[in-house]
Amino acid sequence: MKTSRDKIRTLEDLKAECQTLKQGNKKIVFTNGCFDILHPGHTRYLEQARALGDYLIVGLNSDSSVRKIKGPERPILPQEARAEVLAALQFVDAVVIFDEPDPYRVIKTLVPDVLVKGGDWAEDEIIGSDIVKSAGGKVVRIPYVEGFSTTAILNRIAQMTGNTD
Q: What is the pLDDT of residue 146?
A: 72
Higher per-residue pLDDT: 88 or 122:
88
Predicted confidence (pLDDT) at residue 137 exceeds the cutoff of 60: yes
Helix or strand run (H / E) with residue 86 = helix 79-87
- CA dihedral for 92, 141, 41, 158, sign (positive or negative): positive
Separation of alpha carbons 13 and 153, rounded Å: 35
Give me the chain's average pLDDT, please: 92
Whether the pLDDT of residue 2 is over 80: the answer is no
Q: Which residues contact 42 (CB under 8 A, 6 or more apart)?
A: 33, 35, 148
DSSP state of 97: E
Q: At 10, which amino acid appears? A: T
Domains of the chain and CATH, by start: 4-160 (3.40.50.620)
pLDDT band at 122 (very low <50, low <70, confident <90, very high): confident
